[in-house]
Amino acid sequence: MTISATPTSLADVLDRFQMEEVHDGAVLARYVEAHPQFALQLIDLSRLLATPEADDQEPLSALHKSRIDAAWIVHKAAGPELPKGSNPLDAFVGERAKALAAKLGVPRQVVTCLRERKVDPARTPRPILRTLSDALAIPEAHVIAAMRQPPLLARRSYKADGKPSAAAQVSFEQVLIDANVSDADRARLLADGD
């Protein structure tokens, strides 16, 4: 039984490379030539080993703190967050839901699907998002953020053969199809007004 002197696994090759006394170009070239299948990993490790360790104990300078604060403000402004438990789509009940359904020219079950966050905002036409935004008097980005929340579990009770599972969001078009909206009305509602 012969034992191979050269390592064959990535972990073994990287361990041996790391144990070398010097990590210069000649050593790297020798390892890449011997193990071309691990060339990228060896190069990454050599760069990592060549990078001097920074002393993380130093406090941040005022300039660094201000850059972090500015980046955080930009990050927070990029994606609106809704307060916990708050969903502006919950306002589409009663007369408001009826008015929105009439404005869109759709059955109320479409508005119910919107309220229950069953509609994927990425697959909803911009004019519909604008209409929702106008109806709620909030920015369109807040409507999209509300729609991205997980769908509500059905509040109705049914007997089922299997265990209930979380429903996936569907396209606005699929909601219209399920609501038996006519082809002409679907085409009108799905037209992108941009």
pLDDT tens, 108-140? 999 998 988 898 888 889 999 899 888 888 888
* Mean pLDDT of all residues in 150-173: 69
- How far is residue 100's CA from residue 110's CA, in Å, rounded to a whole number? 10
pTM for this one?
A: 0.51
**Phi-psi category of 169—alpha, beta or left, where left has phi over 0 and alpha has psi -120 to 50?**
beta
Average pLDDT over residues 77-98: 73
Tokens of 10: 């990535």
Give Cα 97 to chain centroid, integer Å. Answer: 29
pLDDT for the residue 1: 38
Domain spans, the chain: 10-49, 88-153+167-190
Confidence class for position 102, pLDDT limits 50, 70, 90: very high
Two structure tokens written together for 54: 């920074």
Q: What is the pLDDT of residue 162?
A: 64
